[in-house]
Chain A
Amino acid sequence: MHIMEGFLPWQWCVVWWIIALPCLMLGIWQLKKVLRTDREALPLLGVTGGFVFILSSLKLPSVTGSCSHPTGTGLSTISFGPWITVLICAIVLLFQSLFLAHGGLSVLGANIVSMGIVGPLVGYAVYRLLRDTSVNVYITVFLVTALADMFTYVTTSLELALAYPAEVGGFASSFVLFMGIFAVTQVPLAIVEGVVLALVFKYILTLKPDILIRLGVFSEKMIEAARSEI
């Protein structure tokens, strides 16, 4: 999902930075608030952030004959919401821009918007929609992580289609072409990511259910039900 340095006109770089910066500020403010309230949230932040570090470094082959990487943003989206996830993604994307030439500083805003903002926001909307229903906790985690991953790539396609509309067919035609490269490749990866992170969530539930209850991630009743299920 990385837009490479120099591949986005400067006007679009500015637009995406303007969107990304307030979200980053909100993330810093929320993180301070969470850590002030509950220091035990720090290890959970480490785990959820750790998965963003690991999964976004894995370039996996896919059905389109090209490789892509999962995003790993679902767990922190569920545990801490989308704004703290923006902050985690910004750190990972900055590392990749500075040391791996993946992305770049001018396009960092655009990459933060796709991986850190839109993907997690979609995931968070799904989580909020399902949290208080009878849908199984693990199915919720699966859907949130898979959709946060998918919509990251849909957003990258959107960003590129806006900057490079096709001569024939304009934005829509260009969007379909970029979706063919980014989103189709991502489908199997998003599914596997969803299942694996649902499993990881099970281990968090087993070892540290109290922090999830204190953070209000799921109700005590739902967590107890999930712990006894599988």
Chain B
Amino acid sequence: MAYRYTLEILAGIAIIAFCVLFLYTSATMSGAEFAGSDNVGSGLIAELSGTPIENFQPLIPQWEPPSGEIESCLFALQAAFGGILIGGVFGYWLGQARGRGTG
């Protein structure tokens, strides 16, 4: 019983340590822009190939979100879809467990 919440505590510590690490990095690392590693990787590709980054054109035409706001909205929708799935299923399972008298 004493160890009932061990995993919850460990997860909490991991998340807090991660936040502290981020705050420390952002405060002490000069030039840390926190850009996506995908974009940083694309920059390295341009450097290694000796081709300016703007010369890399899609091989298959691609729709791009017209603004950062719309991109954030679509990312939020993606996360919301996942959240609805998880919440819905856990609710369903909890209902089943309560029906069996074990929840």
Contact = CB atoms under 8 A, between A and B. Distances in A.
5 contacts: A67-B37, A100-B78, A106-B58, A178-B41, A196-B11
Interface of A: 1-7, 10, 13, 43-44, 46-47, 49-68, 92, 95-102, 104-106, 138, 156, 160, 164-167, 174, 177-178, 181-182, 185-186, 188-189, 191-192, 195-196, 198-199, 202-203, 207-208, 229-230
Given A65-B29, A164-B49, A100 B89 contact: no
A49 B85 contact: yes
Prevailing SS type, chain B contact patch: helix
Interface in B19-65: 21-22, 25-26, 29, 31-42, 44-45, 48-49, 56-60, 62-65
A96 B22 CA distance: 26
Nearest to B56: A6
B29 A100 contact: no
Nearest to A55: B82
Contacts of A167: 48
Contacts of A189: 18
Contacts of A63: 21, 25
A174 B48 contact: yes
B8 A199 contact: yes
Contact of A68 (B36, B42, B71): B36
Contacts of A102: 38
A82 B1 CA distance: 35
Contact of A65 (B25, B57, B65): B25
